[in-house]
Amino acid sequence: MAEKTGVCFPEGFKATGINCGIKKEKKDLAVIISDEPCNVAACSTTNRVKSYSLLWSLKNIKNPVRAILINSGNANVLGGKNGWEITCEIMEKFADVVGVSTRNVLFASTGVIGKPLPQNEILRGIEKLVPMASETGGQDAAEAIMTTDRFPKQIEIETSIKGKKKGSFVRIGAMAKGAGMICPNMATMLGFITTDAVISKIALKKALTDAVNDSFNMITVDGDQSTNDFVVCLANGVSGNRTIHQDTDDYKIFSESLSEVCTFLAKKIAENGEGSDRLIEVRVEGAWSKKDARRVAKNIAGSNLVKAAVTGAWPNWGRIAAAAGSSCTRFDPQKMKIYIGKYTVFDCVSCDIDEKLLRQELSKNKVVIRVILGSGKEDAVAWGCNLTEEYVRINMEKE
Amino acid sequence: MAEKTGVCFPEGFKATGINCGIKKEKKDLAVIISDEPCNVAACSTTNRVKSYSLLWSLKNIKNPVRAILINSGNANVLGGKNGWEITCEIMEKFADVVGVSTRNVLFASTGVIGKPLPQNEILRGIEKLVPMASETGGQDAAEAIMTTDRFPKQIEIETSIKGKKKGSFVRIGAMAKGAGMICPNMATMLGFITTDAVISKIALKKALTDAVNDSFNMITVDGDQSTNDFVVCLANGVSGNRTIHQDTDDYKIFSESLSEVCTFLAKKIAENGEGSDRLIEVRVEGAWSKKDARRVAKNIAGSNLVKAAVTGAWPNWGRIAAAAGSSCTRFDPQKMKIYIGKYTVFDCVSCDIDEKLLRQELSKNKVVIRVILGSGKEDAVAWGCNLTEEYVRINMEKE
C-alpha cells in the first residue's frame, strides 16, 4: 500500500518518478510539486565546474518555488556548447506543464559528466511525469534520483511547535541520493527536503545551513565537492503555524528536527558508499575550535589508510593518530586519547587490548572511532565508509 | 662490483646498511658519514605528530653535521612515555662510535607507529654498522631504508660549476624511500642528499626548498603528511669549488641539478606507490597562480576516481574536470582543455576520439594527463599512481 513518505509526508506536496529514457530501464526522472508557493533555502557545491541545472536553480531560489524537476543518469555539465539553451527549453516546458512561471521552478541533475542531456526524452517525460505526481509518490521519486545508490533514502518527521492550537504540528520529509565515492572525493549528493511549516526565509536559511554543516558536509572532505551537489528545502506554510523566526523556541524545535533529518540521510549516504559494507563514525572531542574538530574528524573518516584498515578489521590506531596530526596543529599528541568502539587503544601509550576484541569492534556494521584531543571544548562527528577492493572495481569501469 | 652510488657518489661520504634485528631478515639500519662537517638544509613534515627521531634532527640541523643514522621498521613515534629518552641514548651511542659530538648527528626513522624502538638491537647494531661504512655502501644504505618499497631508489649527478679550475665539478648523490600510499594520504617519505659542493647555508636552504616544492611536495596532497617525512641535504665542501652564493650563475647550475635529483626520486616514489603499476603525470598549464597550478595538479593526481579510472584504462575526463574544479575557482570551465596522452579529450565540448586510442594511452606505464586552464601563465606538474585492488589488499592487512 502506497503511503505518504519522504518529500510527500508534509501537507501539500506531491511527487513521483518515472523512466523517461535517459537510463535503459530504471527510473530517471522525478518531480516534486507544492500546492502553494514555497520559501526556499539551499546549499550547493563550491566546485568551479557547475551543472547547468544547478546554475538554473541558483538563479531561482530567491523566488517562491512551486516545483522541482530532477533527472538521474546525466549530470548536465560540460555536455556541449548549447547546454544552457537545452536547460532553458526543458525548464520552459516543465513550468508550462506544471502551470507556473519559469521563475518558480528548480532543476537538479546527477550522473555522467560531459554528455548532452537527452532533451527529447526529458521533454516527453515531463508530459507524462507531472500529471502522475501524487501524495503517495515519495518512494517513486526517491528511486528515480538514485545513481549507484543501493537503496532509496527517505525520512519523515512530525514535530510539535508549542504554544499554538491550530498548526501546532509541523512535518518535515526528505529524500537524498549519494553513493558515489563519499570521502575523500566528490560525492555527488542531492538532498530534497519539504516542510509544511510557516517559517521566515532567513530562519529557514540559517536552520538549513547549520543542519548541513553538521551532516552532509561531514561526509565529504572540504573543497572536494562534485559539480552537482545541492541540498534544497521547500517550506510551503500549509500547516498554518505561527511564523517561525530565528532565535525563538519554535525555531529551536524546528531546527533540531531539520538536523535530525539531515543527519539521518547523511549517515545513510555514508553507509551506502560504493563497495562499502561498514559505516565509520568518527567522533572528535576536546578540539581547540569547531573548525579543528571538523577537520580532524573528516580527515580520519576520509583517510584511505584508515578506511582500508577497517576493511581488514585491523586495529591500526597509528593511522588514526597520523590522520589526526596531519590535519590539525593545535593539540599535544601525548595528551591525545584514541578509542576503537568501547576500548581505549591509545592513552599516551599504546593500550594493551586483546586484538581479537578490537577486531570484533572493527567488524561491526557501524564502526565508532573516538579521538579526544584534549586541547579545547569543541566536538564534531564525521561519517565515512570502508575502502574495499569492490570500490576500485566499480570505479575502474563504466557505469 | 661495488660502486660509489647514491649518497656515496660525492667525495668524502661513506655509507652502509645492515640488519640489526628490528625486522626479521631485511636490512633495517643505515648510516651516512661525512669526512668533513657539513652545512645542512632540511624540509620536514608539517604533521603535528612527529617522530622522536625527527624532533632530534630538527634540533641539530643548525649545527655542522657529520653523520646520520636511519632505521626502518619502526617510526619511533607514540611508542611510549620514554621515547625521547631512548632516542637520546641511541644518539649518544651513535655519536660516540662515530667519534663526534651528539650535536653533530641526525636521526631518521620509518615504519610502524606506536611501538617502542627496539633499543638494544639498535645500540648493538650501531657498533657493527659504523665501522662497516664505506665509499661503496650506497646501495646497502638505500636498501636498509626501504619499507614497502619494491626497489631501492638512488641517483648520482656530476655537474660543472664554471669559471674555476680546481673544483670545477661538484657531485650530488641521493637516496630516498617512499612507497606507502602516496596521494592522497601520508606518504612516509625520507630523502637523503649528499654533495661535495662548497655552498653557503642560505643558498643550500633556498635550493633545497625550491627543489622539494616542485618534486617531493608534488607527490603528496597539502596538509596530508606522515609523522616522519624528512628530506635532508648535507654539503661537505670537499670538492673545493668557489663558494656558491644565491643568485649567481653557479647557484643556478647547482640548483637545477638538485631539482633534477629530487624530481627523479619523487617520480620513482610515485611509480612505486603501493599496489600501483602506472605512474600518472599531471601537467597543469595556464593557471592564474603557481598555487592554483599546484593545487589543481595535485588534486587530479590524488583523486581516487581518476586513479581508479586509470587502472581500468577508462578515459573518463569528467572526473579530471571535476577534480580540477573542486580545487580551484579561478578558471572558466568552458575555456578548459583536457588532454589524455597526445589526444585532446575536452575542448569546450567533448572531443570525438576513438576510445581504443585513449585506452592505449591509459595503459602505458606512464600516463600523462594535461589540463590547460586558460586563466593565467603558471604551470605545475604532479605525480601520482593508479589505485588498484592490490592497494586495498596491502592496506587491509598488517605488514
Q: What was the ipTM of the complex prediction? A: 0.77
Domain membership of residue B141 (yes or no) is: yes
Is A397 within 8 Å of B314 when comparing Cβ atoms?
yes
Residues B81 and B138 in one domain: yes
Distance from CA of B238 to the nearest CA of A (A): 38
Confidence (pLDDT) at B132: 98
Distance from CA of A224 to the nearest CA of B (A): 5
Domain membership of residue A80 (yes or no) is: yes
Closest to B210 in 3D by CA, of B162, B149, B251, B160: B251
Helix and strand counts by DSSP (H, E) for chain A = 11, 14
Confidence (pLDDT) at B399: 46
Tell me whether residue A388 is one of the annotated catalytic residues.
Answer: no
Residues A217 and A157 in one domain: yes
Domain membership of residue A74 (yes or no) is: yes
Nearest-by-Cβ selection for A325 from B49, B314, B327:
B49
Chain A residues within 8 A of B352 when measuring between CB atoms: none
Tell how far CA A204 is from the center of its chain. Answer: 17
Nearest-by-Cβ selection for A78 from B299, B333, B395:
B333
Nearest-by-Cβ selection for B346 from A78, A311, A392:
A78
Is B397 within 8 Å of A314 when comparing Cβ atoms?
yes
Is A47 within 8 Å of B325 when comparing Cβ atoms?
yes
Residue where one domain finishes, among candidates B254, B271, B288: B271
Residues B152 and B218 in one domain: yes
Confidence (pLDDT) at B185: 41
Residues A347 and A303 in one domain: yes
Residue where one domain finishes, among candidates B221, B253, B271: B271
Is B346 within 8 Å of A388 when comparing Cβ atoms?
no
Work out the pLDDT band at B184, boundaries 50, 70, 90: very low
Mean pLDDT of chain A: 90
Three-class SS state of B116: coil
Residues B257 and B294 in one domain: no
Confidence (pLDDT) at A166: 58
Helix axes B317-327 and B304-311, enclosed angle (nearest 10): 160
Confidence (pLDDT) at A222: 40
Chain A residue nearest residue B333, CA to CA: A49
Residues A18 and A109 in one domain: yes
Domain membership of residue A202 (yes or no) is: yes
In CATH, what number is assigned to the domain containing residue A98? 3.60.70.12
Residues B256 and B293 in one domain: no
Residues B194 and B287 in one domain: no
Tell how far CA B227 is from the center of its chain. Answer: 14
Cell of B130: 659504523
Residue where one domain finishes, among candidates A243, A271, A299: A271
Is B322 within 8 Å of A49 when comparing Cβ atoms?
yes
Residue A399: pLDDT over 70: no
Domain membership of residue A290 (yes or no) is: yes
Q: Is the peptide bond before B64 cis (omega within 30 degrees of 0)?
A: no
Residues A111 and A197 in one domain: yes
Residues B115 and B228 in one domain: yes
Residues B339 and B291 in one domain: yes
Centre a 10 Å sphere on the Cβ of residue B343 and count the other Cβ atoms it contains: 15
- A35-54 pLDDT per residue, tens: 999 999 999 877 878 899 99
- B256-311 pLDDT per residue, tens: 999 999 999 999 988 887 788 899 999 999 999 999 999 899 889 988 888 888 99
Domain membership of residue B227 (yes or no) is: yes
Residues B264 and B379 in one domain: no
Confidence (pLDDT) at A1: 52
Chain B residue nearest residue A325, CA to CA: B48
- A192-205 pLDDT per residue, tens: 999 999 999 999 99
- In chain A the beta strands, taken as DSSP E runs, fall at 13-18, 29-44, 65-74, 105-112, 153-160, 169-177, 190-195, 230-235, 279-287, 337-340, 343-347, 349-350, 366-372, 378-385
Pair type for strands B279-287 and B366-372: parallel
Q: Among A21-25, A176-180, B133-137, where is mean pLDDT lowest?
A: A176-180
Confidence (pLDDT) at A76: 93
- B119-166 pLDDT per residue, tens: 999 999 999 999 999 999 999 999 999 987 889 999 999 998 865 555
Residue A163: pLDDT over 60: no
Phi, psi of A275 (to 5 degrees): 70, 0
Is residue A93 within 8 Å of residue A131, measured between CB atoms?
no
Q: Among A173-182, B112-121, B179-188, B285-294, where is mean pLDDT lowest?
A: B179-188
Is B392 within 8 Å of A388 when comparing Cβ atoms?
yes
- B49-63 pLDDT per residue, tens: 889 999 999 999 999
Residue range B339-360: average pLDDT? 91
Chain A residue nearest residue B45, CA to CA: A326
Domain that holds residue A295: 279-396
Cell of B332: 572558466
pTM as predicted = 0.85
Mutate to test the interface with B, among A54, A86, A185 (most CBs of B within 10 A): A185
In CATH, what number is assigned to the domain containing residue A285? 3.10.20.340
Domain membership of residue B1 (yes or no) is: no
Q: Which of the residues A87, A188, A195, A263 is marked catalytic?
A: A188
Domain membership of residue A1 (yes or no) is: no
Confidence (pLDDT) at B273: 78
Chain B residues within 8 A of A183 when measuring between CB atoms: none
Chain A residues within 8 A of B75 when measuring between CB atoms: 318
Q: How many domains does chain A have?
A: 2
Nearest-by-Cβ selection for B398 from A114, A305, A314:
A314
Closest to B371 in 3D by CA, of B292, B304, B266: B292
Centre a 10 Å sphere on the Cβ of residue A142 and count the other Cβ atoms it contains: 27
Work out the pLDDT band at A182, boundaries 50, 70, 90: very low
Is A186 within 8 Å of B326 when comparing Cβ atoms?
yes
Residue A181: pLDDT over 60: no
Confidence (pLDDT) at A303: 83
